[in-house]
Each structure stands twice: as C-alpha cells, then as structure tokens.
Structure 1
Amino acid sequence: MAEVAKRERRRAARAPGAARAVDTAFFVFGGVAAVWLATLLLQESLHWRMIWFSLVFWAVLAYLVLPRLHRILTRVYLPDYFIGRARTSDGLLGDPVNVALLGTEDQLHATMRRAGWTRADEVDLKSSWRIIHSTLTKRSYHEAPVSPLFVFGRQQDVAYQQEVDGNPGKRHHIRFWRCPPDWVLPGGARVDWLAAGTYDRAVGLSLFTLQITHKIEEDIDRERDYVLASVRSAEPDIEVRVIRDFATGYHSRNGGGDTISTDGDLPVVDLRRVSTDPADRVPEPTDSRDRRPAPTTFGAVLVFCRGLASLAFAAALATDGSPLGTAVAQQGLRSLLPAAAAVVAAFGLTEIAMAWFIYRGGNRARVLTMSLSALAIVVQFVNVLSGGPGISFATNLLGLALDILLILALSSERARTYARRRDALTATEPRAP
C-alpha cells in the first residue's frame, strides 16, 4: 500500500511539467489562431455593406487578440516574482502596491467600514452589467466591482471604494491581498496584507489593449495619503511606519497605459489594536484560484451548445421529412441515414458530457476539447493553403470563430489554474477502500 502511494506521488510530481508544456502549446496556438481570426474579420469589415462589422473586429482585437499577445510576451520579459506591482489578467504590470497592513481580516473590514468605505461587489455577470448600465446612465453604484489585479498569482481578496458625486466613473478604490504564510517583503519586513490604492478619474480606452476601462489619476501618492487619512480619522490610535523608497522601479504606466508617478514609499499600517464586533466578521474567503472563472464557464457553455447543435443535426438526418434528410435520401443514401444520425447523436451526447466535466473543473476534458478544436482549426487552415475556398460567412467563419474562442477560453491562465487545482484536490481525496 505504501509503495502504491509512493508511485502515485511520483506520478503527480512528474505530471505538472508535461501539463505545463501542453498548456503552453495551446496558449500560444490560441494566440496565433486569434490573429488569424482578427485578419479574417478585418477582411469582412472592409466591404461597404459590412462596415458595421468593424465593431466586431475591434471587440476581437481588444478583448481576445491583444490580451493574448500581451500575455505571451510578458511571460518572456517580466520577472516571475514580487516587484511591488500588481498585474492585470493580461499579464501587464498593473497598479503599484502602495500600502501594507498588519492585522486580521476582521480588523481590516472594521477599519474600512468605520472609515466610510464600501466593499466592492465581486465581478460576475450581474455586477458587470450593473456597472455598465450605471456608467452609461451615470447612476450611483456604491458597491461597483473593480477589475481583477493579481499579486501572488491570484486576484485581490477584497476591494473597497468610495464613489464620487454619485458617478460610478469616478471613485476612490483600493484592493487588498492576503500575504502567504511566512512571506516577507523585500528587505525582510513581515506584513499580513498588501494593497494598491488608486483614483479612477474617468472612463476611456486602454492604451495597450484598446479595451474600455477606468483611467486613473497620475499621482497615486495622493490616493495613498487619502486612504491613510481616512483610516486615521476612523481609528486615531493606529500606528503607521513608512518604508522609504520601497518601490521606485517599473513606475511609468499601469496596465491600462495611464501614466503613474510615485515616491515609492510604502506605509505599513498596524491594525492589531483595532477592536471588532460581530458585524465586522466575514466568512473565510476562498482562494480566487478555486472559484470557477468566467472563461471556464464560457468554454463549458460553448461545448454544451455545440453538443445541442449536433443533436439537432442528428435529428434532421434521421427525419426524412426534414430538408436535410430529404436531400440525403434523394442522393440514394437513405440506408445510411440511421447510422449517420446515430454517430452524430453520440458525438453530441459526448460533447454535452464533456461540457459538464469542463464546468466541474476536469482537466482531461478541457485538454481533449481543446485538442479537437485545434484539429478542426488546422484542417481548415490547411484546406485554405491547398487552394480550397477561403474562410468567410459564406463558408465556415462562424464555426472557426467558435473553435478559436473555445481554445482562448480554456487555455487562459485562470481556466487552466482552476482545472489543475481541481485535479490536485481530487487526487488528494481519500479513496474508498
């Protein structure tokens, strides 16, 4: 029994290297395929009757192609360790870390609540739609979500904000990350939390990805000092010491391309004497890497819809009364219809099952699904190179786009991290005797 356990541990230790290589291949392949898709969409939008399609081209370029290219490049030139900056989900350097704290989570929440800050909602479909609607209509949304930034390889544990003049486009906001156990700052200081506070001054386009985003105030020290002043007004007895010139490098622009300037000082706020009450207690937060990410859900939905489409196609094949079944029967292939319909139906049912496993965080289902989509993309590309019909709306542009979207979603950092952690959790669960 002990020998079996040892073999399982050795196999688990070897797996991550191979898994990373496979994921890296799909990650790069998805980026290249996305560039091809953007080129095809640009060609479609150049026709006068399709000029409106330039909006689709912009959306694909801003939210799929450029983020993936940035993610690939930043893996090459950005160091994979803490340098005093958060990172965006695209891998770009985000806002500088400009506040550190000592204390429990209850003390953090108590202090921010008493200082007049509002906890931001988590980013989901409901909150995303609400922030878009509030921004367009200029209606107040005090709990508006903030975009995810990453430190320690995970997004913020909690964020707080203060809306300005009832306009969700302008706000004070600060993100907090819990430090790993026994982690120390460069220089040896120990803290419990790191934070990044900035001021949103307007809504605009990102310089690096062309996405719609908030633009921040250049002088981030002003926002850091504002946070400290609000906290001190609520808790006059807290102690603050400053680490001078903590972070002075990599401070030119943030992930949205906004110019930033700072003196690099890092105040360490000691909240350990702050009193708490039951209202300040919150459930233990889950690691953001264990929350089902939107790309995983999106990929599962795409596979599920593909399965439903296959079942509909199988039904059309099996029904002589349908246009498709009649057309096949007229070619003298009526005897093949039941077998063909059965094969297509089996494929559709398999796709639906795969969608469920992907949604649940199954890594094998994720990799197999990406493999099938990659094969379909390569076949179409080779067909075009061999003189076949070009890819357009008249051929299979929609099908190609869905395959590329599927690979982009399931090969994303958040999707693969979620699947790996779910697999690791399953592997450590005790097996029934």
Structure 2
Amino acid sequence: MRRRRSQDRRTPWSDVLDGWLFALSGVIAVWFAYVLLRDGVRPGWPTLLLLVFWVFFSYLVLPRLHRILTAIYLPGYFVGRTRTSDGLLGDPVNLGFLGDEDQVHGAMTLAGWTLADELDVRSAAGIVRGVLRGRSYAGAPVSPLHLFDRRQDFAYEQEVAGSPSQRHHIRFWRCPDGWLLPGGFRADWLAAATFDRGVGLSLFTLQFTHRIDEDTDVERDFVVATVCDAVPAAQVGVIENFSSGYHHRNGGGDRIRTDGDLPILDVRCAPGRGGAHASAPAARATDVPQSVLVGSGVALARASTYAVGATVYVVQESTTVLAVTVAILAVCEGALALATLAAWNWARLLLVAGCSVTAVTAMTVSFVGHRPPVGLGQLLTVGGSILVLLALSSQEARDYATGAGARTTPAKASA
C-alpha cells in the first residue's frame, strides 16, 4: 500500500515535459522580443517592428512571465481575491449570493442588469467598434477572471448613459458543493463587483483595458441596493472583516480599496428564469480554447506554406530529396495540428517540442553567430514557431488536451 501511494504521488512525464516547455517558452519569448526591439530601431520599414514588439511583448511575453512567476510565489488556496488569466491577483471578492442559478439570473434581471456576452472574436470586435464610434453595447463582454481555478460562470453589467467605456459590472462563480467560506459561512455564489471608469493603458500589462474605480465598496453597495429595490423580499447578511481592508492594486495595475466586509444576498425568493441563462462552466470546457485554435491555426498555415514550397521545388526541378523532405514536414505538421485540435495530448507535445527545437536553434545561432539583424523570412519562420510554442504550452491548451478542464466542475473545484 505504501508503494502504491508513493507511485501515485509521482509527476507524470508529460507534466514534467509541460513544465519545462512552459518555462522555456518564456525564455525564448523574451529573446524574440529583444530581437524585434533591436531590429526595429533601424530606419526604413524595420521601424514597423516596434509595433510588432509592443503587441508581442504586452500580449504574449508579459502574460507568460507573469504566469511563470505567480506559479512560484502566489498561494493556491482561497485568499478572497480573483486571479487574472496571467495568474496575477485580480479584483477582490466582495459579494456572496444564496440561491440557484435561475434565481440569481432572475434577481439581476429584475434589478435592471444585462447579462454580458461571452468574450470571443465577434464580441471583442463589437467592443472596439463601440469605443471608436462612441456607441452603446449593453451586453459587452467582460475580461475573464478566475476563482476556484476557473473563469467566471457569467457576468452582468449596466452601462452609464450609454457610454461604451464606463459601466457597472459583476462576475459570478458558483461555489463548489459543500464548500464553506472562512469562518464556516455558506454561499452558493461568490461575486466580484467593480466599476469601469474608462479605457486606458495598463502600466502593469502594457495592454489597453478598462480601468476600474478605486473604491470597490461603492460598487458592492450599489449591487446590493439595486437587487434589494427590485426584490424587496431579498435578505442581506454581512460577514464583517471577511478579508483584509487593504489590497493596494489589482492585476491590471488599478488601485483598489475596501473595508473587507462581505455582504451575502439571499435571493432564493426571486422568480427563476426557467434556465434560459444557464451557462455551466463544464459545458464551456468542451469548447476548443482560443489558444489551441491559434496554435493549431498557425501550425496549419505553416504546413500549407511547406506544401507550396515542396510544389515549387518539384516544378523548378530542384533536388527531389529536398522536395520530399519539405512535403513530409508539411504532412507531419498538418497532421499534428489537426490531432491537437482533436485534443490528442501526444500530438500537442510533439508539435510544441518541434517548435521548441526550431526556436532554440535560432536563438543559439543568434547568440553564437552574431549576425544581426535577422531577415524578414527568418522573423516569420521563427515567430511562427514561437507563437505555436506559446499558445500550445499554455495551461488552457494543456487542460484541453488532457481533459482536465472538463473535469473541473463546481462540485470538484478546489478552494
């Protein structure tokens, strides 16, 4: 029995490989960002690389570095704070709800709140159009925050005078079955309510994002007031000093301040909505994550390019061996990309490992060969490998390929 327990505690070889590839991707991404910055300061068209550097560094490199560092120094237990997709501490948890999902939806709808759309390409484009044109988007999606190792189950919002940049919003997470708050208190849902005061550049992430108002207690009390006005029978209890009254900043760099109290809204008296708004995270877990779509898409594009190259070699009557080699490479990479989309973990690992070899080779040649600047063709080739590496070594891609995301249900999520 002792031997079996010891074996169960061993880390599977795939997890060890994933960990190394995840860390390696951060090192390679930093090197490639340096290359983009170094070559972008030259006159002429290379100046455009500075824009590529900003996008690559702020939206890919910094999030990966944050993920690596927070995995080392942030605790994995419940601390009364949400987490960003990069693993940073996010907005404070400042509300709790008692009631089933339909009752929560019913209470929020009666209170005049609008259910936020899911964040995808279509809704993201809608946000950009709304901000640029100054038009209203009542159901604009909110960025994902994580609690219980999963993103919010749903979110509600209220616009301010039709402004696309200012809004009240609140995210909801279903508590795991039988899970109790510190002190033994019970809640069916936990929520984080904040007020978006505008859109700006985050000094923490260098990304354009909504900036929240510092006093999160005002937004918390606003949610309580709107629900109680709409559902007079709703009851409110308060857990005093639930968390520290000092939080300093969230993951986007915005200052946050709270007294640490946690109101619990009992909305079990609210009329249900007949399951019309059901959005269980287990159902969403079966969808292909965007990181897998991006990584596999880039790999398929590379495979298509290799196939075209092999055809060109044949037409030009070049070396048959070279044409066959490129054709085999195209078939292998395309097959691995399709298998990764089908959630085969071995295919994802092989694809990531192959791209790692390409990127490490380029990085080594760059340091040893001393041949700056890097040509445009090499930038595209190596950049494609790094994009595949970053996308398919992410936690979302790993969970999708191993089925861990589908297994993380509210009943089983850890606190």
Normalising by the residue count of structure 1, what TM-score does the alignment of the two structures yield?
Answer: 0.88
1:169 — aligned with what?
Answer: 165
* Separation of aligned partners in 1, 2:10 and 2:333: 26
**Number of matched pairs:** 402
Contact 2:243 2:261 in 1 (8 A): yes
1:197 has 2:193 as partner: yes
1:146 to 109, 123, 142: 142
1:421 to 403, 410, 414: 403
* Separation of aligned partners in 1, 2:161 and 2:106: 24
Query: How far off is 1:347 after superposition?
Result: 2.2
1:377 to 350, 359, 372: 359
2:37 to 39, 42, 49: 42
Equivalent residues in 2 for 1:283-298, closer than 5 Å? 283=278, 285-287=280-282, 288-298=284-294
Q: Which segments of structure 1 move beyond 6 Å, counting only runs of 4 or more? A: 422-425
| AA aligned opposite 2:19 | T
Equivalent residues in 2 for 1:183-332, closer than 5 Å? 183-248=179-244, 251-278=247-274, 281-283=276-278, 285-287=280-282, 288-320=284-316, 325=317, 328=318
The runs of 5 or more residues in structure 1 that have no matched partner are 1-8, 329-335, 426-433
1:412 — aligned with what?
Answer: 394
Query: How far off is 1:404 after superposition?
Result: 1.0
Q: Deviations over 1:205-260 (max 9, x none)?
A: 11211110000000000000000011001100011100001011661101110111
2:339 — aligned with what?
Answer: 357
Query: How far off is 1:142 after superposition?
Result: 0.4
1:73 has 2:69 as partner: yes
Which deviates more from structure 2 when the two are superposed, residues 188-197 or residues 53-62?
53-62
With a CA cutoff of 8 Å and minimum separation of 6, indicate the structure with the bigger relative contact order. Answer: 2
Share of identical aligned residues, percent?
46
Equivalent residues in 2 for 1:329-340, closer than 5 Å? 336-337=319-320, 339-340=321-322
Query: How far off is 1:109 after superposition?
Result: 0.7
Query: How far off is 1:343 after superposition?
Result: 3.1
SS of the aligned residue for 1:139 comes to coil
Query: How far off is 1:126 after superposition?
Result: 0.4
SS of the aligned residue for 1:221 comes to helix
SS of the aligned residue for 2:323 comes to helix
* Separation of aligned partners in 1, 2:217 and 2:94: 8
2:413 — aligned with what?
Answer: none
1:3 — aligned with what?
Answer: none
1:27 to 18, 22, 26: 22
2:99 to 83, 96, 103: 103
CA spacing shift, 1:423–1:268, aligned 2, 3 Å: closer
* Separation of aligned partners in 2, 1:212 and 1:83: 27
| AA aligned opposite 1:148 | P
Normalising by the residue count of structure 2, what TM-score does the alignment of the two structures yield?
Answer: 0.92
| AA aligned opposite 1:363 | N
Query: How far off is 1:312 after superposition?
Result: 0.6
2:113 to 112, 117, 125: 117
CA spacing shift, 1:51–1:350, aligned 2, 3 Å: closer
Query: How far off is 1:137 after superposition?
Result: 1.1
SS of the aligned residue for 1:252 comes to strand
* Separation of aligned partners in 2, 1:369 and 1:30: 13
* Separation of aligned partners in 1, 2:349 and 2:30: 21
Contact 1:87 1:151 in 2 (8 A): yes
| AA aligned opposite 1:113 | T
Q: Over alpha carbons, which structure has the higher Rg?
A: 1
Query: How far off is 1:292 after superposition?
Result: 1.9
* Separation of aligned partners in 1, 2:364 and 2:47: 29
SS of the aligned residue for 1:169 comes to coil
Q: Deviations over 1:149-171 (max 9, x none)?
A: 00011000000001111111000
Give the RMSD, CA atoms, in angstroms: 2.1
Query: How far off is 1:356 after superposition?
Result: 1.2
* Separation of aligned partners in 2, 1:275 and 1:145: 25
* Separation of aligned partners in 1, 2:404 and 2:74: 28
1:332 — aligned with what?
Answer: none
Q: Deviations over 1:97-149 (max 9, x none)?
A: 00011110000111111110000000111001111111111111001000000
